[in-house]
Chain A
Amino acid sequence: MFYLIQLLNAVQYGLLLFLLASGLTLIFGIMGVINLAHGSFYMVGAYLAYWLAKLTGSLWLAIPIGIVIAFAIGLLLETAIFSRLYKRDHLYQVLLTFGLILIFEELRSILFGDEVHGVAIPALLDYSIPLTDTLSYPVYRLFVTAVCLGVAGLLYFVIHKTRIGMMIRAGTSNREMAASLGVNIPLLFALVFAVGMALAAFAGTIAAPISSVFPGMGNQILIICFVVVVIGGIGSINGAMIASLAIGCADTIGKVIAAEYSAIAVYLVMALILLWRPQGIANKA
């Protein structure tokens, strides 16, 4: 039973990572933009959940409103700032997005202070399923797992079964050719960027009741997200899925076997996978 709980936790954490990494890998893959501020949107989502839940009294309202706000901010950032940097060197993008991290952190500090905040689990899901006399599993975590699976399924459907998905994949492999077949690349980029931001913020909103809401939470998860993107293969949603679950398991198992060394487990898995496939799981060398 203990191991079942760990497995459930690993999958839940992995799927949450996937929500973040899928946006990051798409933005990196299709536009070639390194977005260090991706983690900041996870934080933005979590703080929006905290603020909107207090304001409206319901996390159920906070989640959709938060997603819409994050999508709008994403669209604004893309058209106002990012679209000017596509043709620049990666160094400019790193500088810009690092600057954005600092701005988001400062804004957070001004608006919400530097304390750790909790977000209440909605009453509907605030109970646990007893597994044995002493062990039980919180329903909210199961809910998060289910929602992430749903979003992953939806994403898979859009990318692989719809025309807009074909255009996104075409744009990832050859931007110019896609444009010459009539695809409005600037519009497609803006949409993908905003959806990526909304996904990151969504991950933040639903994770808030589990992880609580605290300063620097975006940067912590950003590094893990980059690990997922690199070992999954840049630009690949399927690769990101496998990598997310692998990292989720590595992190959880690492904590169980040797808690004091658990931080190493994730990077050990990354090193092994990259030795086996230097281009990432989804991309053959």
Chain B
Amino acid sequence: MSSAPIIEARELHTYYDASHILHGVDFSVRAGEAVGLMGRNGMGKTTLIRTLVGHVPPRRGELKINGQVMTHAAPHLIARQGIAYVPEGRGVFPNLTVKENLLMAACPRPDQQCEWNFERVLEIFPRLAERLAHGGQQLSGGEQQMLAIGRALMTNPILLILDEATEGLAPLVAREIWQIIKSVRDSGIAAIIVDKNFAALSALTDRNVILVKGRVVFEGSGEELKAKPELLHQHLGI
């Protein structure tokens, strides 16, 4: 593996048609690092993620992945660099069974062995193993989230991006998802995590970034952030 950061973005300016969403965002993730992405709704978190995975190419700025310039690369090429994306709303394919949702994503990366295969994913998600023949639309919210994470792991990623993974889940189910995220982290996979639960999030992340109106206003550890309650209050409503 190269020593270059997995993601290194500089001066990203992203637009939706005429509206200017990201105003020169610098963002990076190193191998094995967990970054929390915070901010109120509409501040550009999801747009930043969609820019990083190639769904909304930036109008200006540069995006390097594993040291290669991929500013305008197609999403599947970015995915094949080991970037796995679990979007808000989970993106489970409703017309595929649970098993098919997992198998369609299995993608052996040429430079390493497939650590994450069907059997291993089912080991950490025993609930999915019971529902392999079910359609994606028949699952509960928590199960859909497990499927979306399991499917992302099937691609054998080096970076997992989770956008609002616990949103809309009952507290017990959300805790289960946090457990899973923690075990994924322990296996050495880097992560970008967007979540409203500051306490749970900052317990897992090495570094946190707060976005306000498409600009980075804070970057630092959870401890540093806790030391600035006015920032938490102003930008996260805590």
Contact = CB atoms under 8 A, between A and B. Distances in A.
Interface of A: 163, 166-167, 169-170, 172-174, 176-186
Given A163-B104, A166-B103, A182 B93 contact: no
Interface of B: 53-55, 74-76, 78-80, 84-85, 87, 91, 93-96, 100-101, 103-107, 151-152, 155
B94 A182 contact: no
Contact of A181 (B55, B100, B107): B107
B230 to A, nearest CB: 37
Contacts of A173: 93-96
A182 B95 contact: no
Nearest to A168: B104
Contact of A182 (B100, B101, B103, B105): B105
**B-side interface mostly:** loop
Contacts of B84: 180-181
Contacts, number: 70
Contact of B79 (A163, A166, A170, A182): A182
A181 B74 CA distance: 12
14 contacts: A166-B100, A169-B93, A170-B96, A170-B101, A173-B93, A173-B95, A176-B75, A177-B93, A179-B54, A180-B54, A181-B84, A181-B107, A183-B76, A185-B74
A208 B78 CA distance: 47
B103 A163 contact: yes
A171 to B, nearest CB: 9
A183 B95 CA distance: 17
A181 B105 contact: yes
A169 B137 CA distance: 14
A181 B95 contact: no
Given A163-B104, A167-B104, A170-B104, A179 B76 contact: yes
Contacts of B75: 176, 179-180, 185
Contacts of A163: 103-104, 106
A181 to B, nearest CB: 4
B79 A179 contact: yes
Contacts of A178: 93, 104
Sorted from nearest, which 8 A-B pairs have the closest CB atoms? Answer: A166-B104, A179-B75, A177-B91, A182-B79, A181-B105, A180-B85, A182-B107, A170-B93
